[in-house]
């Protein structure tokens, strides 16, 4: 791509850190207000989320603008011994993931079968099996940018990626599916051909609706005879019943495809309310990311959030999250719960800085480069984190691995 075309591309690149993340951030939280349909009334929310959203949004933008202006990129280390074995290690991760996934399947751990099964998958096997889709995804685009795929091998590798995608539908989890689709979309955008904005919008609407329906079907097909899936009894007064009637005026399907947006608003409001009454968690949420690998019973980050939001349940007993489930805190709630406005500003500033530095690396080494793969994956995890938070040790390890491989990777001549 010549200089003039690249400049034009960069000036209107929808997936740039100063456009894509802020766009999803605004749409996600705005949708929580637009598609409320009376659901927040059931929880008697009394907190104003706007100030924390503004602080997080501004902090992110400052991080992006500062490091875009500085034009910092990822430093490189000349570690040939490790660099030459990087691909071998990724293949090894894939083999470990495949073996773990097959063990899960042959022992009946098929999460899509029922919610009670999905919530009780072997945590070690579930953790290790994720390296299957991760390695297949990275190797596919790595071989493309290095020109190692013929037309025939490209089709074979694409088919393998498709098969892995279908296999992970069996796990019942949407997260790996979203990561595979969105990362592939971004890689295609940079490595092959820029995707027009109108098609990006269409694809995102389709993806959002499809994944919401996927979650809805998981819920409606639950085996209610299983104790784990049974609803807790609640005591509704007349006011509560009126709120429920108001919600039920909206078709169930519409409620299902907008639920994630409204849930984000509800959880964030509950976090604000909890910290106002009990103070901040002072790092407990983030510390628990790593403590979960320690022996003995540990509380995961999302279980901390569940305990926080459900502890404020009104006398009617309506919980934000059902028993045995965990709660996604949103990226804003994650930082605010642990340290208020200060940690929120620092956290979103760092997110913006990281994406800006990686994007500078893409500009430095060209679109058809390993930098594009790493930037695409980081962007996917951070954008997904707007809803889920960035609290999964697995994804943090994947990000750290990709960043390390980028540091030791010897890039080719700029494309």
Q: Each residue of 238-250: b (16+ CB within 10 Å) or e?
A: eebeebbeebeee
The single-letter DSSP state of residue 191 is I
407 CB-contact burial (10 Å; exposed 0-12 / middle 13-18 / buried 19+): middle
- Domain hosting residue 393, numbered range: 1-415
User: Is residue 361 within 8 Å of 260, Cβ to Cβ?
Assistant: no
Residue 93: pLDDT over 80: yes
Lowest mean pLDDT segment, chosen from 160-169, 227-236, 250-259, 337-346: 227-236
Which whole-number Å values give the CA distances from 100 to 115, 121, 164, 224, 374, in the listed order?
Answer: 20, 12, 13, 29, 25
Give the confidence band of 8 by pLDDT, cuts at 50, 70, 90. low
pLDDT reported for residue 229: 47
- As a whole number of angstroms, the distance between CA 405 and CA 14 comes to 26
Q: How far is CA 185 from the centre of its chain?
A: 15
User: Is residue 143 within 8 Å of 157, Cβ to Cβ?
Assistant: yes
pLDDT reported for residue 233: 62
User: Is residue 111 within 8 Å of 80, Cβ to Cβ?
Assistant: no
pTM of this structure: 0.91
**% of the chain surpassing 90 pLDDT:** 51
pLDDT reported for residue 313: 74
What would the DSSP string read from start to end of 91-119? Answer: HHHHHHHHHHHHHHHHTT--GGG-HHHHT
* Average pLDDT for 251-262: 84
Give the confidence band of 249 by pLDDT, cuts at 50, 70, 90. confident
For residue 407, give the nearest of 376, 365, 367, 379 by alpha carbon: 365
Residue 339: pLDDT over 90: yes
Count of structural domains within the chain: 1
133-149 pLDDT tens trace:
999 999 999 999 988 77
- As a whole number of angstroms, the distance between CA 411 and CA 354 comes to 19
What would the DSSP string read from start to end of 13-73? Answer: -TTSTTTHHHHHHHHHHHHHHHT-TTGGGGGT-----HHHHHHHHHHHHHHHHHHHHHT--
Count the neighbouring beta carbons within 10 Å of the beta carbon of residue 131: 24
344-396 pLDDT tens trace:
999 999 999 999 999 999 999 988 899 999 999 999 999 999 999 999 999 99
pLDDT reported for residue 114: 65
What would the DSSP string read from start to end of 147-177? Answer: T---HHHHHHHHHHHHHHHHHHHTTT-SHHH
Most confident option among 216-220, 279-283, 313-317, 350-354? 350-354
């Amino acid at each position: 791509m010549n200089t003039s075309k690249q400049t034009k591309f960069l000036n209107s690149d929808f997936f740039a850190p100063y456009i894509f993340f802020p766009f999803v951030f605004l749409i996600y939280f705005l949708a929580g207000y637009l598609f409320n349909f009376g659901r927040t009334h059931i929880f008697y929310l009394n907190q104003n989320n706007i100030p924390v959203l503004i602080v997080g949004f501004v902090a992110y933008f400052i991080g992006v603008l500062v490091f875009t202006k500085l034009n910092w990129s990822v430093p490189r280390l000349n570690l040939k011994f490790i660099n030459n074995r990087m691909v071998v290690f990724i293949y090894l991760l894939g083999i470990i993931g495949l073996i773990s996934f097959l063990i899960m399947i042959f022992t009946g751990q098929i999460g899509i079968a029922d919610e009670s099964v999905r919530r009780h998958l072997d945590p070690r096997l579930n953790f290790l099996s994720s390296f299957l889709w991760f390695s297949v995804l990275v190797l596919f685009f790595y071989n493309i940018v290095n020109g190692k795929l013929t037309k025939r091998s490209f089709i074979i590798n694409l088919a393998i990626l498709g098969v892995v995608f279908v296999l992970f539908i069996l796990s019942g989890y949407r997260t790996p599916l979203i990561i595979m689709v969105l990362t592939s979309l971004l890689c295609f955008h940079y490595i092959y051909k820029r995707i027009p904005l109108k098609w990006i919008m269409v694809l995102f609407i389709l993806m959002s609706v499809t994944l919401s329906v996927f979650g809805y079907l998981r819920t409606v097909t639950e085996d209610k005879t299983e104790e784990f899936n049974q609803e807790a009894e609640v005591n509704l007064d007349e006011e509560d019943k009126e709120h429920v009637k108001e919600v039920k005026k909206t078709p169930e399907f519409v409620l299902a495809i907008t639920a994630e947006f409204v849930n984000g608003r509800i959880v964030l409001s509950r976090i604000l309310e909890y910290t106002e009454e009990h103070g901040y968690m002072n790092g407990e949420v983030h510390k628990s990311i790593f403590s979960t690998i320690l022996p003995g019973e540990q509380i995961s980050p999302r279980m901390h959030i569940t305990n926080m939001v459900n502890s404020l349940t009104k006398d009617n007993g309506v919980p934000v999250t059902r028993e045995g489930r965990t709660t996604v805190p949103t990226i804003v709630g994650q930082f605010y719960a642990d340290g208020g406005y200060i940690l929120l500003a620092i956290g979103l500033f760092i997110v913006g800085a990281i994406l800006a530095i990686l994007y500078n690396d893409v500009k430095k080494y060209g679109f058809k480069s390993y930098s594009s793969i790493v930037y695409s994956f980081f962007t996917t995890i951070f954008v997904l984190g707007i809803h889920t938070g960035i609290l999964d040790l697995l994804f943090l390890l994947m990000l750290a691995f990709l960043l390390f491989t980028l540091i030791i990777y010897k890039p080719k001549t700029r494309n």
